[in-house]
Structure 1
Amino acid sequence: MQPADAGCKDYKTEANMILIVKHIGIEGPGSLGEFFNNTSWQVSIVEIGAGEKLPDSLQGLQALIVLGGPMNVYEEAQYPFLKEEDTFLREAIKRKIPVLGICLGAQLLAKACGAAVTQNPEKEIGWYRLRLTDKGRQDPFFEGLPERFSVFQWHEDTFEVPAGAALLAEGDTCHNQAFRFGENAYGLQFHIEVTPEMIASWFCSYQGAAATHDIMDIMAHSHRAQRDLSKLADRIYLNFSRMIGAPEKAIAGR
């Protein structure tokens, strides 16, 4: 077990635990980890892509956060841990544990909720404008956010909105950008956790995927947009933490 910035072993969940599932070393929790490490919750990461195992039990789990990664949800033969995640997510949803899925995590959540995940007509890499839907403007997850905002994207797949779920945000290049299933399971196709340093490392590691994009322009935009993204992300983290049932001291001063 480990804090949100180091490696961990197999373990069981403990009381007051927020669990982050990480698929690859360079796609860590970023600003999200920083936010929750400054609360009174115990925050731990399972590096599932590196062979670490999910907990045997969800007992004591306060929230589940699933990060992004370069694999696709339908590549279970190549990445067997995706099946384990699917089972784990289904159980978390069944128990109404708050869930936040980011990029691949959102696609895994959509799949666990019974929706299809397919290739988007156009790959999104860089900064894109999104807009909240009517339901998104009314949802506490996006409370305090403007109706339109810019986010960083890096994906080639998209999810269908699960049956019974609410579409909360949409875009032009990829329509389905955020959804809520049930009361507290949220999927975001976009990245709110990134920093310019993280984005630069992705360009170094995923050069083939970004070959047709203007890296210098995207990086310049990333530095300009960082302050606005940080404010947007912190508000989302705060809203989500309140849904977890945050003890007063957990979010004091936020």
Structure 2
Amino acid sequence: MTQTALAVRHVAFEDLGLIEPVLNRLGYDVLYLDAGVHEISAETVAEADLLVVLGGPIGAADAGRYPFLTAEVDAIRERVRRGGRTLGICLGAQLLARALGAGVEAAGHSEIGYTPLTFTDEGLRSPLRHLADVPVLHWHQERFDIPAGAVRLASTPACPNQAFAVGAHVLGLQFHLEADPRALERWLIGHAQSLTALGLHPQPLREAAADAGTALTTAATRVLTEWLRPVPGPAAEVSGAVGCSAW
């Protein structure tokens, strides 16, 4: 039976990237919902076999400016409560953390560029272990706390909470596992204003993306393929939105 992957996209150039070929190979039909354009609710995301909430240049606490974020958080919370497989990336991970009751706030600094992760013991037993010693793309100025009942998986010197999991069905990643190094120029154009404001020249990012290249693509594919493997038995509804880890 064909499975459906639903991606919530906040800006056009931050799409599924490296995730989409893995989904295609595993037999998923891929659909996008564009935040602020399409309705995002518990009902519209309920039937998808996988929900991926992607990144974007707004903050998880910006619902006063972008009211659709409230509906997103509510939809994520209900999906996780029902045990639906959910992946949040950058803004998506911050919305996921917020949906699970954790704090999200400005980090006080930006983290932009390619940096390897440091893994917890749980992280080294998770699919993220394939990223050991592989620099990944970071592009954020906010941070999230680890939700109660979730397991912290990774950190960097600039950001102590880079990844968390709730069981085998929910994964939040502050870093951009999906970002295809070959398509980084789209990011450099889309975020040109913020790069200028931060005094960052795009050329070092281009060079780092070229260096990451094949190793990052291979590692990301392994992570996603392993995480998306079938989980025995139906996902149980999660009381209070979070539950124990099941790596």
Please classify the TM superposition score into its range, dividing by the shorter chain length: 0.7 to 0.9
2:137 alignment counterpart: 152
Pick aligned residue for 1:88 from 42, 58, 75: 75
Alignment of 1:99-248 (within 5 A): 99-139=86-126, 141-142=127-128, 145=130, 147-211=132-196, 212-243=199-230
2:52 alignment counterpart: 65
Is the CA contact 2:2–2:28 (under 8 Å) kept in the aligned structure 1?
A: no
2:11 alignment counterpart: 24
Gaps of 5+ in 1: 1-13, 246-254
Is the CA contact 2:55–2:89 (under 8 Å) kept in the aligned structure 1?
A: yes
Cα gap change, 1:202 to 1:58, in 2 (>3 Å):
closer
Shift in Å at residue 166 of structure 1?
A: 0.6
- The CA deviation string for residues 100-153 of structure 1, in whole angstroms up to 9 with x for no partner, is 1111111010000100111113201111121110111122x325x154431111
Gaps of 5+ in 2: 233-247
TM-score by length of 1: 0.84
Is the CA contact 1:152–1:192 (under 8 Å) kept in the aligned structure 2?
A: yes
Query: Could you tell me which amino acid in structure 2 is paired with residue 173 of structure 1?
Result: A
Is the CA contact 1:129–1:149 (under 8 Å) kept in the aligned structure 2?
A: yes
Query: Could you tell me which amino acid in structure 2 is paired with residue 62 of structure 1?
Result: D
Question: Which whole-Å CA distance do the structure 1 matches of 2:170 and 2:46 have between them?
Answer: 18
Query: Could you tell me which amino acid in structure 1 is paired with residue 136 of structure 2?
Result: V
**Helix, strand or coil: the match of 1:153?**
strand
Is the CA contact 2:112–2:137 (under 8 Å) kept in the aligned structure 1?
A: yes
1:3 alignment counterpart: none
Task: Tell me, yes or no, if structure 1 residue 54 matches structure 2 residue 36.
Answer: no
After superposition, the CA RMSD in angstroms is 1.9
Identity level (%): 32
**Helix, strand or coil: the match of 1:210?**
helix
